[in-house]
Structure 1
Amino acid sequence: MISSADKRRQAPARKADPDTKRVRSAEDFDIIIGFLGFWALVLLVTTIVMEVTGQSALGWALGLLAVVLALWGILRLRKKLPSRTTRRLS
């Protein structure tokens, strides 16, 4: 049996605020953008090194193209979401 003191200690159940979910979603997109940006930079450096040393860089360049296109798509989707600082005032 739960005492009344235990009930007061428990956090009240909150309804999910749709705006809060959208802000969390925007933050998730920011993480993905950072991840893709890092790998785009790594692939760019690798492609340049392969080209300068005279080795085949086609695979690296195609990988770079794929990452850049994914980054471009994520950035377009991210623009539709609110910024991280946007909060609904009650």
Structure 2
Amino acid sequence: MLLRVYPTRYTVGHIENIKSLFKLFIDPSFENIPLVPGPCREYIVRWYYDPEANACAQFWYGGCEGNTNNFETEANCRNTCVYT
């Protein structure tokens, strides 16, 4: 897999998703990372990977803290986590 990073073209959300992707290579137990919405109250729609269903689902992200099981789009979550 080839990853190209162009900082001037990516938003903070993209950078966070790239960090999540790198987490896959560092921590093979990524699929065991639980959903953590974070303590803040910004209520942003995000996606997380549910390993029991091998699917991605929506949740309300608080906007701070949380963990790497947090994706801006369903497609990004599926492409990163779902086994086909």
**Does TM, scored on the shorter chain, surpass 0.5?**
no
- Give 1 or 2: higher strand fraction: 2
> Which protein has greater RCO, CA pairs closer than 8 Å, 6+ apart?
1
- Give 1 or 2: higher helix fraction: 1
TM-score, reference length from structure 2: 0.29
Higher radius of gyration, 1 or 2:
1
